[in-house]
Structure formats: structure tokens, C-alpha cells
């Protein structure tokens, strides 16, 4: 997963710059990469939660009375 995220973020960053070395191009690319990073983290968190592997949710399940 980390390799996919790195490739997606860097590909989008350099694609957004598209040969323009201006401050606006870098600012737009940075905003785009932050949005992609946030979406990937949200997707990963939801996947882990659905799989039940997140320690916080495992502890909550274990603390429930039987």
C-alpha cells in the first residue's frame, strides 16, 4: 500500500506541475498531493476498520460484556 500511495502522490504532483516552475504550479500540486494523501489514509482507515484489525476496535469488542 505505501508504494502505491507514494507513486500516486508523486505522479499527481509532477503531473500537476507539468513543466511549469512557478509558485502557483507548486502550490496547486501541493494541494493536490495533500488531498490524495488524505483520501488514501481515509480509505485505508475504513478498510482496516471493516476488517476489524484496528487495535482500538479490537479492544472495544473485547471490553463488551458477553
In the chain, where the domains are located: 2-63
* Contact partners, residue 45, CB within 8 Å, separation at least 6: 54
Find the farthest-apart pair of alpha carbons in the chain and give their distance in angstroms, rounded: 61
Q: What is the pLDDT of residues 15-58, one digit of tens each?
A: 888 888 889 888 888 898 888 888 888 988 888 777 776 666 66
pLDDT at 61: 62
Determine if the pTM surpasses 0.85: no
* Contact partners, residue 14, CB within 8 Å, separation at least 6: 29
Amino acid at each position: 500500500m505505501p508504494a502505491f500511495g507514494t507513486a500516486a502522490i508523486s505522479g499527481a504532483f509532477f503531473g500537476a506541475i507539468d513543466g511549469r516552475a512557478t509558485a502557483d504550479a507548486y502550490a496547486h500540486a501541493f494541494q493536490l498531493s495533500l488531498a490524495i494523501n488524505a483520501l488514501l489514509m481515509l480509505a485505508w482507515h475504513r478498510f482496516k476498520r471493516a476488517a476489524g484489525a484496528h487495535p482500538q476496535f479490537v479492544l472495544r469488542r473485547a471490553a463488551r460484556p458477553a
